[in-house]
Amino acid sequence: MLLEFRDVWKGFGSGYVLREVNLSLRGGEVAAVVGPNGSGKTTLLRLAAGLITPSRGRVLVSGVDARRPEAKATVGLLPHTPPLYGDLTVRENLAYYAGLHGLPGISHVRGIIEELGLSDLMDAAVSKLSYGWRKRVDIVRTLIHSPRLVLMDEPTAGLDEPGRRWIRTLLRRISSSGGAVLLTSPTDPSLIVDRVFKIGGDGRVEAEPG
């Protein structure tokens, strides 16, 4: 099991955003989390990425607590706001994150860089790029360590049609290589998924076929 939520509750201040969440994701699966605004979709992804701690229950990535470094080495999260340094170039940003993953450079992602049309922008400062281009850079950052579990918060938001098409190809590529994807995408029905996790108004999650 690549991802497992075992009776997870998450609250902020008073009350819980997520209650009694039990879900799992196997290798080869692509799943979507859906629900109204503020229902906890992003919170669920952040729990899976080990960025926040559950109030109750456990989140496991390949059987390991999601907050452990061993788990983080196998997970990639594409957040809504790219965590990139505006004063650094695209190349410097990617080299920095590669270094944090213990990788010697970024030559192994040259193919992705070319496919996303970033080759000519490698020496441009990230602050000079539009949101759509920054998102493309962040896609490379997310995939830089070849994660088995990829979490994406509205992956196609801000992308043009070629970019959206590339994301659809990426989902197929990850699932066919034995990885898994969990995404939130309320605005893009073109993304084909195997399963849907629906967050209700009470913070409970129901699984439905895709």
Q: Residue 177 CB, nearest distance to other proteins (Å)?
A: 21
Query: Maximum CA pair distance of the chain?
Result: 49
Nearest to 74 by CA among 167, 155, 153, 2: 2
8 A C-beta contact, residue 47 and residue 59: yes
Minimum distance from CB of 120 to other proteins (Å)?
Answer: 22
3-state SS assignment for residue 58: strand
* Nearest distance from C-beta of residue 82 to other proteins, angstroms: 8
Which one, 10 or 19, has the nearer CB to other proteins? 10
Residue 105 or 210: which CB sits closer to other proteins? 105
Contact (Cβ atoms closer than 8 angstroms) between residue 47 and residue 33:
no
Cα 110 to Cα 157: distance, rounded to the nearest angstrom: 24
Closest distance between other proteins and the C-beta of residue 164, in Å? 23
Query: Minimum Å distance from CB 92 to other proteins?
Result: 7
Q: Which is nearer to other proteins, 52 or 157 (CB)?
A: 52
Distance CA 80, CA 156 (A): 10
Residue with smaller CB distance to other proteins, 130 or 176:
130
Phi-psi region of 103 (alpha: psi -120 to 50; beta: other; left: phi over 0): beta
- 85 vs 169 by CB, closer to other proteins: 85
Q: Which residues bind other proteins (CB under 8 A)?
A: 49-53, 67, 69-70, 72-73, 75-77, 79, 81, 83-88, 92, 96-97, 99-102, 141, 145
Residue with tokens 């992956």: 155
